[in-house]
Amino acid sequence: MAVKGAVVGDILGAQFEFDRPRNLDWKNVPLTEGAAIGFTDDTVMTLAIKKALKTGADLVETMVDIGRKYPHSGYGGRFYGWINGDNHEPYNSWGNGSAMRGAFVGEFYEDYEEMQKMAEATAAVSHNHPEGIKGAVVTATCIWMARHGKSKQDIYDYVLEQYPKAEYEYSIAYSLDEMRPHYKWNESCQGSVPAAMRCFCESDDYESFIRNVFSLECDSDTFGAIAGGVAEEFYGGFGSVDGEGLLKKYLTPELLEILNM
């Protein structure tokens, strides 16, 4: 399930989002080393969208209702205001929040056009900037492609088409070796989605995907949520990572119930 892959990626990535050691031994560090491990707003919003789409509930109302129950999960400032205020109109954001919450869209819809249309809809309620919408659509589409047996090359080519090297600083065209010396923490879709997908493309299994995320000084929980669903679908599970154990350990009963709907 892509949603499980996204949530586990969020949980594992959270420990190094704001507290990544300068000389982190990302190839060998225990996967649950950090004190800050646990789910973030990425998980909360991913599962809110799942609940809305599974039950036919209003998307915004569900996001607000569930989001308010977890006020300290790490929302960005503007989205925190969107969740907790009275005005739930979109605010032209290109932040990576639209991409990190879209795993269920790629998992749930069989029809390609319907999937892309719903990915756009889940972004546009808040992140209606073209880059915010693109980030959500690309994330859901990569999951959909992995589910439907597309190769890594197919996924890479699609992401490259959306984020060409000539136009994007962190295009998927750049290898991780090329990115590592200059990549800086970036909360935009355009700075997160193609780099996160590169972490997937250079992986051999779910664990190596997570370690690739650890290798960058990045918004690591969101990288894990964005491409974790692709990795889980492509590899058919978590391999050596105890994904199910992490989900049971860190999710609240309410969120675990939504996950297993």
Task: Record the tokens describing residue 80, joined without a space.
Answer: 């925190």
Is 23 part of a structural domain of the chain? no
pLDDT at 34: 64
Is 21 part of a structural domain of the chain? no
Is 31 part of a structural domain of the chain? no
For residue 55, give the CATH number of its domain: 1.10.4080.10
How many domains does the chain divide into? 1
Residue with tokens 């990190």: 100
**Mind listing the pLDDT tens digit for each residue in 14-40?**
999 888 888 899 999 999 866 678 999
Is 190 part of a structural domain of the chain? yes
- In the chain, the largest separation of any two C-alpha atoms, in whole Å, equals 47
**Mind listing the pLDDT tens digit for each residue in 150-191?**
999 999 999 999 999 999 999 999 999 999 999 999 999 999
For the entire predicted model, the pTM comes to 0.97
Those residues with Cβ within 8 angstroms of residue 143's Cβ, 6 or more apart along the chain or in another chain = 2, 102, 103, 105, 106, 107, 229, 230, 233
**Mind listing the pLDDT tens digit for each residue in 47-103?**
999 999 999 999 999 999 999 999 999 999 999 999 999 999 999 999 999 999 999
Q: How far is residue 104's CA from residue 108's CA, in Å, rounded to a whole number?
A: 6
Is 180 part of a structural domain of the chain? yes
Domain housing 221: 2-15+36-259
| Backbone phi, psi, residue 23, to 5° | -110, 45
Q: In residues, how long is the chain?
A: 261
Is 43 part of a structural domain of the chain? yes
Is 215 part of a structural domain of the chain? yes
Is 24 part of a structural domain of the chain? no
Q: What is the DSSP letter of 186?
A: -
